[in-house]
Amino acid sequence: MAKSKWTEFTQNAVGTEQLKSAGSEFKSGWKAPSNIAIVKYWGKKDGQIPQNPSLSFSLNGCYTQTQLEVKYSPKGFSLTINPEGKEFAPRIEQFLRNVEPLFPFLANVEAKVTTVNSFPHSVGIASSASGFASLALCLCHIEEQIKGNLGFGSPFLRKASYVARLGSGSASRSVFGGWQEWGYLPELPNSTNEYALSLSPIVDPKFFEMRDAILVVSSSPKVLSSTQGHVLMANHPFADARYAEARINLNAILKALRKGDLKRFFDIAESEAMTLHGLIMSSKNQPILLKPQSLQIIELIKAFRTEKGINIGFTIDAGPNIHLLYTSDVAPIVEAFVNEQLKPLCENQKVIFDSCGKGPELV
């Protein structure tokens, strides 16, 4: 972790005395979206530092809503979590202990976390991204309340992204709506491994019309968690070539996003998705995460695109489910195609229709 940034974010950190004198009890609630990566983060260094920069857009309907309550306690730190969040309890507790240097008031609080996902976590949509982004926003908001500050400007979001990253790398991106980038890229001003940047000011408006039909091929628990996947890259024979390629793809996709070049965008998105699975399959003793239906869906998407001559494409996370991407102008024909040809290949005909969203909301 770069020391300078750690210092930036620990400056004026709020301790127990400030918590007590400001009122002892605070609460905050945020809704934060999941995001779908187009250029993939796959491989990391100590301190949640990515091996390569990544790029994503935030979803609209897939989000986590979290409420954090803290109350001064002379007995030290304790945590309760609602039954729905119980599955994440060990990771949340570890996270809250890790970020104590940033939020020293946590040393003496009873903390209560209530967290609910809008989507079933079993469908393979990244709940760690929306979960840690919403929790990080709550923490930063409580800190601001104790300090007596109002408003959520850029420094607030930058810190929230930094804190979210410490919970889960992809969560750093979920602090922003629209399009975002995380990780140092020499050609992109202000890019850093410490937190994500909003790309929305430089992205052509047509990319805000992006839709994502999530084709749920299997909702079985993940065979390989992302955290385990990053570890596989440590000794991967293609690691260096992959990190170099991600930077090339990121520069190229930034150009496509600026120019509104959908064709180039989908070319890169698909190459990134297949590269991710190529890397997984070429790791030692790793399972194949794609299912026969995933491949059938990919073939059907390609055939439909050629037949209709339209710009659509797909991406895939570290699982078997396919994200079909298209813009709203072609939504009627694409969604008819999904319902007729792709739905029957999905588990229990499950498709989640989502779109590019506006980002976190205070609740």
Nearest approach in angstroms of CB 15 to ligand DP6 is 28
Nearest approach in angstroms of CB 319 to ligand DP6 is 9
Quote the CA–CA distance of 40 and 21 in Å, as a whole number: 45
Asked whether position 226 contacts ligand DP6 by CB under 6 A, the answer is: yes
Q: x/- site string to ligand DP6, residues 302 to 321, per CB under 6 A?
A: ---------------xx---
Asked whether position 170 contacts ligand DP6 by CB under 6 A, the answer is: yes
Nearest approach in angstroms of CB 91 to ligand DP6 is 9
Q: Is residue 77 within 8 Å of residue 106, measured between CB atoms?
A: yes
Nearest approach in angstroms of CB 228 to ligand DP6 is 8
Quote the CA–CA distance of 266 and 276 in Å, as a whole number: 15
Quote the CA–CA distance of 353 and 323 in Å, as a whole number: 10
In degrees and rounded to multiples of 5, residue 99 shows phi and psi of: -90, 10
Nearest approach in angstroms of CB 225 to ligand DP6 is 8
Nearest approach in angstroms of CB 172 to ligand DP6 is 8
Asked whether position 121 contacts ligand DP6 by CB under 6 A, the answer is: no
Nearest approach in angstroms of CB 59 to ligand DP6 is 12
Among 28, 51, 168, 174, binds ligand DP6 (CB under 6 A): 168
Among 54, 65, 117, 130, binds ligand DP6 (CB under 6 A): 54
Nearest C-alpha neighbor of 326 from the set 313, 339, 336: 313
- Considering only residues 25 to 44 of the shown chain, the ones binding ligand DP6 according to CB under 6 A are 37, 40-42
Nearest C-alpha neighbor of 36 from the set 360, 327, 357, 363: 357
CA angle at 353 for the pair 261 and 121, rounded to the nearest 5°: 115
Among 126, 196, 215, 273, binds ligand DP6 (CB under 6 A): 126
- From 58-66, 189-197, 225-233, 255-263, give the range in contact with ligand DP6 by CB under 6 A: 225-233
Asked whether position 230 contacts ligand DP6 by CB under 6 A, the answer is: yes
Nearest C-alpha neighbor of 324 from the set 219, 209, 206, 212: 212
Interior/surface letters 257-271, b for 16+ CB within 10 angstroms, e for the rest: beeebbebbbbbbbb
Q: Which structure tokens are listed for 310?
A: 């339209």
55-to-42, 150, 173, 239 alpha-carbon distances in Å:
12, 30, 8, 19
Name the site residues for ligand DP6 (rule: CB under 6 A): 37, 40-42, 48, 54, 126, 128, 168-170, 226-227, 230, 317-318
